[in-house]
Structure 1
Amino acid sequence: MNEKEKVLTHLDIPYSYELAKRMEMYRCNPVLGYRSAGSKAEFLTGEMLKKEMEEIGLSEVTKDEITVDGWEFRKAVLYVLDENGKKREIQLGAYQTNCVTDGAEEYPLVYVGKGTELDYKDIDVKNKLVLVDINQRDEWWINFPVYQAHLKGAKALIAVQQGGYGEIDEDALNAQDIAGPADAPAFSISRRDAQWLKEQLDNQQSRELWVTLEADSRVMPECKTYNITGQIPGKRKDRMIVLSAHYDSYFDGFQDDNTAVAMMFGIAKALIDAKIQPENTILICAMAAEEWGVIDSDFDWSTGAYEQVFTAHPEWVGKVIADLNFELPALAHGAGARIRSCYEYQPFLEQFLEDLPVLTRAYPEDASVVSPIETWSDDFSMAIAGIPSMVNDFTGGSFMETHYHSQFDNDEYYDPQVYQFHHELYALLILAIDATAVVPLSFTGVMKRAQEGLELVKSCENSCLEEKYETISKLLTGAEKQQEENYRWIMQKNSAYKACEDPEQRETLYQSLRQTETELLKRFKTEQDAFVRIDWYGNVFYPHEILLRNIHLLEGAKKNLEEGELSVALRKLYDVDNNAYAFMFDKEVYRHFTDYVYHQPKERLKWGYRRLMQHENLYDLVKQLLKKEEAGEKDCREETAALAKVIDKQYKMAEQTMEEIYQTVKEHFVHPIQEQ
């Protein structure tokens, strides 16, 4: 029996399932669950996982102390008398904000639609509870209406999801990262309870309904929590593979992320029980504070992973050849399993999938690889630190809209075949990566993506970028071909290493590749710093893509204004940076959530530090155009002239960015790797 067969034989799916269920033991809120950053429930779960690591045979089990902003949510209940004088108890979910009542306190409750600036017209909400409808997937994030309510003087905002999340049931609550200040309290309510409250308001023919709130939600700045790590020692101690998953959660978090932590333990246990000593040390890391961990930051999730690689163990960079992160692995998120990977690992993973033996049949379609990685999970923090990463893709399918971050994330949606398939797939992937002599990175996809992004130059009206486009395009074409050759050379070396049976020759070959691996990992970090940017909604782009898209939108809007088509122009301006929020919220809300990205220290911005491009503030321009549209005015010469200046600024930034891309590619990606 070979190593693959041994490991597959020793996988124990019932063990993983039982561990996932056991993680539900500790709860911040006795009724709803929650295991939040820095809470007692998170701490006790970490202690349990530490003990479990020791019991399954991991060595050097440690607690890595990190500093995060913590949150304890113990209770939030509304009590309301109906028209018959009968008391109704309504459980509320919560967001990471401060709201501690002195027992049960009475407040008027006011319904204000979607909670936008216009919804407050002629409504006084000072020291009142504000009920709003929200669709965070299709409209805006929770922080905008919450802060708008706070500025209006509300005691707290209570949000009901009207699509986007929690669609599974009328009783579903929802929780997300607040991305806002701690002193603007916020809770969530089910659609059923929200509808009942609206009916009470209608029955009373009143704008206000008196309710009683009893709440205990406390944010704890700069508290300590722990990432829990253990090892399967490899023959090579300083070359490592990391497995990661987070153990904090909303509600019970069975899928997100109990099953992922348990699968990681299950795979480690199988390797140990099969008596496999890996070539490289395998690190098992249970991450804290993934769901939230920073007050008033647009980048307030994945805090534990960021702190692990930037503060607790920066020395991992250059030693870890891959991070395999796990999220929601016990259900299908589409017709076929997908590995979401950084571009550099994509060719290796595609070949790995082609060579797979027959595994548990859990999907109608074959597994595939998609790129790039996204910001929604811990692998992004790992990658920008310089550690090539991947995750089982979990953002497709209906679960995100239905069960995700609700009390319905439980084992009723458990698929044992999918769970077993993921155990098998990633156990074998660990062995495949472990068998390499040099990290199997290909930068071909990076060059190709950069080239594709440049095509937007052709849609620009100004020809000033054309010369740069031709020069960079030629360089990228050459770099792409060179990177294909480099990858072939890398895989030839890995194949030779795998085939070599003479221990001395294997070691000689391995040692001859150390400098090459160092250079490859340095190039990976260089590429992450130079190319990886995000937009205002957390999507990953290259810097020139963001600028060229803005130019395309702005030029289109300018042309629309010249033709008197204000509505069409406004639709384009809506998509420029974060200017969508200028349409719905007042200037202070817009300003706060723009400035806090650019005027906070690095330690508050975490993985978002310098990832957003320079911002185009179109707030005043949008408001002027909205007034003219409402008044039926067509003369927009002033606004057209203002847009011309904005476009010129974007062109200058694009020109500078394209020059920086040229220099990065020329210096790092046009040379044969074997010469290093």
Structure 2
Amino acid sequence: MSRQASRPTHPVEAAVDEGFMRSVVEQMSAIGSSPLGFRVAGTPEEDEVCALLADTMRSIGLEDVRLEPVPVDGWRFRGAALEAAGESFPCASFGGSPPTPPGGIEAQLVFAGRGSRQELERVGVAGRIVLVDWPGDHFLWPSLTAAEATHAGALAVVCACLPGGRFYQMDGALGAFDGIWIGGSVPLATIAGDHALRLIELQRSGSVPARLTLEVELRPGVNGHNTAGTIPGRRSGPPIVVAGHHDGWFSGSFDDATGVASTLGIAKAMLDAGHVPERPILFGSHTAEEYGLADSAFDWLIGASWRVNEEHRNWGRSVPFYLNIEGSGMPLPMFIDTPPELRRFCRRVCGSARRDGLLPYGVQYGVPRTGTEQWPYLAAGIPSLNVNTLPRSYWRTQYHTQYDTTEIVSFADLVRETRLYARFVMTADAAPEALLNLGARASDLRHHGRLEVARAAGFETQHVDAALTRYETVASTGADWLALRAAFATVARTLESIHARDKQSTLHLQALLDVESLDAALDALERENLGAAARAAARSGRNRLARHVGREVFELDAARHRPGHPGFGWAAKARTTPSPGLWEELASLRGEPGSRAPGPWLASSLRRKRAASARELQRRLDRIAAVFERAARRLELGS
């Protein structure tokens, strides 16, 4: 494929400054709480990076530069090591883990496979340091293994992503992530996969005395900060918002110093070119994208969620457009996460960008994800995009490791990508009414909402179909911008949801999966196929965990996913589904020691929980119909 040189077609695009963005990335990357780096929310290092960004904003001419406080639980990494077999192996950790005592923890090191409760019991981990393999499963997070190991009497956990895993697949790669930590668990450190393999071999040959040292500072109830600076528009009103996140694991150069540098690169280019937007544009960065809330199943996206749900509550129904910039600066396809309503806008902008050489590697579209700060903006009702050039090879090797440094950033590509991002912002600013193709949401729901499955299972969906048809019809007749914007917010604030694995979904889909799973389990039970019944039931809610953790940890996890838990955080805006908990039923179906024997009670219990899920599904289908009817009325009033 030929790679034509990019041709800036606007003075702003021509003014994008490579040296400026390189300087921002290098300065941010140099700030860290340890020799490995780490600039985490609520720490002196975050204070330092926020001061740097505020000074930079003022120096390029942004107005109303400010730091907006965000309540967080700080976690400051200072260093970690595992001493064993006469060597000292460097370690890192996951956000939220407590430290070891000052002298470390000394005990025998044992390998317990993936760290399931069965493996922990088989090995016998009481009084020991446990080494486990985490393959990168987003459902079975290491915090659950640490909690289970704690209940089994372990003193600490060391986690590795062995060869073939999803993350950290480079020699010597240490890993970090948000901990999704469970309070009261023993300390957890991470170790490179190749180092772990050596220790596993040694442990198979005999006992391996070890000492783990993890030095971190827990800083509960402090403030992190979001940053902001504005270019005023020709008219006043709600701003367009552009941002990345300034916290990061290790040096965090690509993720996400490049996103912040690109954000400020757009601002500087506009100011240098003398561009005056139609409406204000707020350029900023968020705290605690990576981690910021202790003892929480939802410990990430804290800064962005606070900004739209607390600091600027009016934004959800007023901000015209939000552009979230994640890791950028690689010679790879552009990845754009977009809700259905903005797909046409994206294709139009990307079509012109392709002709001008700004997309030499093409573009790939995806759906909004709970792993980026686009999601809280979208769930609040704001039209938004997430853009990045994060390839799979990066996810498997350098992501959240010490290899995420300035050396992997292609600054020439960052310039090209920033020109494209600027084009998105300027196009949205010039004609916000062209942003939204409202009918695309109804079409998407028809194609991907599995309404025909719900209908076949006996649920009422005709009113949903009727509401979608009315919405599509009214949306095609034209309405003013305020009516379009209000309709978008009305729909997004109801439909955007998360499923049981804490990933993005649509309001009713988890309840539908719960009903399907329980129907399949009951059918298998009627055929006396207990294994098939267990496999089907485990597909509902978070019940897959029942095979891996004990009942106490299972119930702790369930409590953390219910409204009212102190760590429920931004999930309160995510319209979670009250899926059934099936610990007792699954233990019985699997014949686990001490479990209740199968009998008539089992089918009765599954039917009762299926009925509750069915009521929840119908309630959510009714809500979808109502919200599209309400949005259609808004459009009719604005026509």
Q: Same fold (TM over 0.5)?
A: yes
Cα deviation code 1:612-671 (max 9, x no counterpart): 10121111111111118999x9x7654333322222222222222222222222222256
**1:462 Cα shift?**
4.5
Give runs of aligned pairs for residues 131-530 of structure 1, distance below 5 A. Answer: 131-137=131-137, 140-162=140-162, 163-184=164-185, 185-203=187-205, 205-206=206-207, 209-331=208-330, 336-356=333-353, 358-360=355-357, 363-365=360-362, 367-371=363-367, 373-393=368-388, 397-436=392-431, 438=433, 440-453=435-448, 455-458=450-453, 462-463=457-458, 465=459, 468-486=460-478, 516-530=480-494
Return the alpha-carbon distance in structure 2 between the equivalents of residues 397 and 379 of structure 1: 20
- 1:21 is aligned with what amino acid? E
2:372 counterpart SS class: coil
Check if 1:553 corresponds to 2:552.
Answer: no
**Structure 1 residue ranges (4+ consecutive) displaced by more than 6 angstroms after TM superposition:** 628-631
1:5 maps to 2:10 = yes
2:576 aligns with 612
Contact 1:384–1:607 (8 Å) recurs in 2: no
Residues 618 and 33 of structure 1: CA distance in aligned 2, closer, same or farther (over 3 Å): same
Residue of structure 2 aligned with 1:587, choices 551, 560, 567: 551
Separation of aligned partners in 1, 2:463 and 2:233: 46
What are the superposed Cα offsets for residues 498-554 of structure 1, whole Å, 9 maximum, x if unpaired?
A: xxxxxxxxxxxxxxxxxx444433333322332111112222222222222222222
Would you say the 8 A contact 2:294–2:567 is kept in 1?
no
Which residues of structure 2 form unaligned runs of 5+?
1-6
Deviation at 1:471, TM superposition (A): 3.0
Give the 3 Å change call, closer, same or farther, for CA 647–607 of structure 1 in structure 2.
closer
- 3-state SS of paired residue (2:209): strand
Counterparts of 1:567 and 1:460, CA distance in 2? 28
- Which residue identity lines up with residue 173 of structure 1 in the other structure? L
Aligned equivalents of 1:668 and 1:460: distance in 2? 23
The 1:122–1:402 alpha-carbon spacing in structure 2 relative to 1, beyond 3 Å, is closer
Mean Cα deviation higher: 302-311 or 387-396: 387-396
What's the CA shift for 1:599?
A: 4.8
Task: Provide the rounded CA distance (Å) in 1 between the counterparts of 2:46 and 2:563.
Answer: 31
Query: In structure 2, how many angstroms separate the alpha carbons of the residues matched to 1:359 and 1:420?
Result: 14
Query: 2: CA distance between counterparts of 1:612 and 1:648?
Result: 18
- 1:44 maps to 48
User: What is the alpha-carbon distance in structure 2 between the residues aligned to residue 247 and residue 628 of structure 1?
Assistant: 47
1:197 aligns to what SS in structure 2? Answer: helix
Deviation at 1:240, TM superposition (A): 1.2
CA distance 1:122–1:401, shift in 2 (3 Å): closer
Alpha-carbon distance in structure 2 between the residues aligned to 1:387 and 1:462: 34
Q: CA RMSD in A?
A: 2.6
Percent identity (aligned): 24
In the other structure, the counterpart of 2:3 is: none
Q: Distance in 1 between matches of 2:335 and 2:393?
A: 15
1: distance between equivalents of 2:249 and 2:439? 39
Q: How many angstroms does 1:379 deviate by?
A: 1.2
Distance 1:254 1:294 in 2: 23
Q: 1:660 to 1:604 in 2, by over 3 A?
A: closer
| Shift, 1:182, TM fit | 4.5
Question: Which structure: larger Rg?
Answer: 1
Query: Which residue is 1:20 aligned to?
Result: 25
In 1, Cα distance between equivalents of 2:389 and 2:572: 22
**Alpha carbons of 1:474 and 1:393: their partners in 2 closer, same or farther (altered >3 Å)?**
farther
Contact residue 343 and residue 446 of structure 1 kept, 8 A: yes
Aligned match of 2:37:
33
Cα distance between partner residues in 1 of 2:529 and 2:398:
42
Q: Is residue 67 of structure 2 the alignment partner of residue 67 of structure 1? A: no
Give the direction of change, closer, same or farther, for the CA distance of 1:355–1:543 in structure 2 (3 Å limit).
Answer: same
Residue 320 of structure 2 aligns to a residue whose secondary structure is: strand
Alpha carbons 1:78, 1:91 under 8 Å: kept = yes
The 1-side partners of 2:147 and 2:126 are apart by: 13
CA separation in 2, counterparts of 1:148 and 1:136?
Answer: 18
Residues in 2 aligned to 1:601 and 1:561: alpha-carbon distance in whole angstroms: 34
| Post-superposition offset of 1:127 | 4.2
Give secondary structure in 1 for the equivalent of 2:461: helix
Are the equivalent residues in 1 in contact too, given 2:139–2:501 (CA < 8 A)?
A: no
Matched residue of 2:237: which SS?
strand
- Counterpart CA distance in 2 for 1:239 and 1:40 is 32
| C-alpha distance in 2 between matches for 1:44 and 1:390 | 29
Contact 1:92 1:173 in 2 (8 A): yes
Query: 1:396 Cα shift?
Result: 5.4
Q: Deviations over 1:247-279 (max 9, x none)?
A: 100011111001111111111111111111111
Q: Which runs of 5+ in 1 are unaligned?
A: 490-515
Instruction: Map Cα deviations across residues 95-142 of structure 1 (whole Å, 9 max, x no partner).
Output: 122114223553332222221111122554344321111112376211
The range that moved more, 614-623 or 395-404, is 395-404
**Could you give the per-residue CA deviations for residues 461-506 of structure 1, whole angstroms, max 9, x where no partner exists?**
643x2xx2223213312322322333xx5xxxxxxxxxxxxxxxxx
Paired residue type of 2:62: L
- Please state how far the C-alpha of 1:143 moved relative to its aligned partner: 1.6
Question: Which secondary structure does the structure 1 equivalent of 2:330 belong to?
Answer: coil
- 1:449 offset after TM fit, Å? 3.0
Aligned amino acid, residue 441 of structure 2: V
In structure 2, the residue matched to 1:505 is: none
Which segment drifts farther, 246-255 or 620-629? 620-629
The alignment partner of 1:53 has SS state of helix
Are 2:617 and 1:654 aligned? yes
Per-residue Cα deviation, 1:203-258 (whole angstroms, up to 9, x for no partner): 3x23xx22223321122111011111111111123231111100100011111001
The answer to whether the aligner puts 1:129 opposite 2:126 as a matched pair is no
Give me the whole-angstrom Cα distance separating, in 2, the residues matched to 1:331 and 1:407. 18
Relative to structure 1, the CA distance from residue 381 to residue 459 in structure 2 (aligned partners, 3 Å threshold; closer, same or farther) is closer
Q: How many residues align?
A: 629
1:406 maps to a residue whose letter is T
| Conserved 8 A contact 1:53-1:230 | yes
Contact 2:135 2:167 in 1 (8 A): no
Cα distance in 2 for partners of 1:433, 1:522 equals 17
Residue 56 (structure 1) shift: 1.4
Q: Given that residues 533 and 612 in structure 1 are in contact (C-alpha distance below 8 angstroms), is that contact kept between their aligned partners in structure 2?
A: yes
Shift of 1:88: 1.0
Q: CA deviation at 1:608?
A: 4.5
Aligned to 1:643: 606
- Taking the aligned partners of 1:13 and 1:636, their CA distance within structure 2 comes to 70
- The aligned counterpart of 2:118 is 118
Partners of 1:321 and 1:565 lie apart in 2 by 54
Distance in 2 (CA, whole Å) between partners of 1:426 and 1:565 is 55
After superposing the two structures, state which structure 1 stretch, 114-123 or 576-585, moved more: 114-123
Secondary structure of 1:73's aligned partner: strand
Equivalent residue of 1:280, what SS? coil
C-alpha deviations, 1:17-48, integer Å up to 9, x for none?
23212211211112x11111111111111111
